Amino acid sequence: MRPLYHFLDPLWRRFPFPAGHTFEATAFQDATVLRMARTYRGRELLPVYCYAVGDTLVDSGISSVGDEVIAAARHAKVARVVLTHHHEDHSGNAARLASLGAEVLATAPGVRLVAHDLPRRFYQHVLWGEADPVEAREVPPEVPLGRLTARVVPASGHAVDQLALLVPERGWLLSGDAFAAERVKVFRGDEDFYASCATLERFLTLDFDALLCAHRPRFTGGKEAIRVKLAWLRELEGRVKASRARGRSVRRIVRELGIEPSSSFYTITFGDVTTANLVRSILDGPKRRVEVVRALGSSI
């Protein structure tokens, strides 16, 4: 059965969301950091970062700030775009950049996902906007970043197709959404807790200091931030499992954790981004989105 948002998605695409936006480009060593966000009544909703290094753009930003991203990409003479994963705040301008001649690279499942016009939930339209389908090519093990070279690192968990890029010459890790924050309090319904922990453990075997995250970069101390997040997730895992062993329900466990954001957060995401989903992922694993399962079939 198709979920309700599949039917509502065409309506939301036509809705004129009353949003402005912010955009700025700053330098960090060899990289140009592109920071953008939609705004409502002058307040930023959720900032998004992408990174131009040499002739490569890592992630493509949100389509509602597309003109500024395209201008920055032209200035940097971007020849390729590496998508850390298919979510619209990362792939939002990939199709426009491809139409201008840029090569788009993604993991094997990412190639299949960005080729589809996936339906989106209300909050995804509000925060980020559309991401048109784009033809991508599977990313090779190493990617040139101008004079530098990045090594592809598997990074599933937040998304099944996620990758990270390690730049040994600079001690950078471009991590997509594998980090997000030291003490995450919510998960999307389809996030995989144990794959996320395995990704963080993999990161800790790498040599880096700058964590170039897509939402909350840590330009110094990035590896320590990963260590803190992993310890936090393991603490939550222990508390959740102990509560379940005492017969607690998911709702009761959420109350006992005491970390759930305000109810407005639940409301705007229609329950897709919640502490309860974090608890369920620990206990039962992720709940895959119908459209992702259909796009990937048996390969998921």
Q: What is the pLDDT of residue 270?
A: 84
Give the length of the chain. Answer: 300
Spatial distance between the Cα atoms of 276 and 7, rounded to a whole number of angstroms? 25
- Second-level CATH architecture of 4-299: 4-Layer Sandwich (3.60)
CB-based contacts of 249, cutoff 8 Å, min separation 6: none
Task: State the pLDDT at residue 266.
Answer: 67
The pLDDT value given to residue 2? 87
- pLDDT score at 248: 98
CA-to-CA separations, 284 to 65, 229, 256, 281, 297, in angstroms, rounded: 37, 21, 19, 5, 21
Q: Given this model, what pLDDT does residue 298 score?
A: 64
Residue type, 177: D
pTM of the model: 0.96
The pLDDT, as a whole number, for residue 297 is: 86
pLDDT in tens, the chain (300 residues): 789 999 999 999 988 877 799 999 999 999 999 999 999 888 999 999 999 999 999 999 999 999 999 999 999 999 999 999 999 999 999 999 999 999 999 999 999 999 999 999 999 999 999 999 999 999 999 999 999 999 999 999 999 999 999 999 999 999 999 999 999 999 999 999 999 999 999 999 999 999 999 999 999 999 999 999 999 999 999 999 999 999 999 999 999 999 988 666 667 788 899 999 999 999 999 999 999 999 998 666
> Residue 300: what pLDDT?
63
Sketch the domain layout of the chain as residue ranges. 4-299
Q: What is the DSSP letter of 116?
A: S
Element (H, E) at 32: strand 31-40
Task: Provide the pLDDT for residue 264.
Answer: 64
- H helices of the chain, in order, are 4-14, 66-75, 88-91, 94-99, 108-114, 122-127, 193-203, 222-245, 250-257, 263-268, 275-284, 290-296
Residue 41 confidence (pLDDT): 87
Report strand pairing: 163-167 vs 148-154. antiparallel
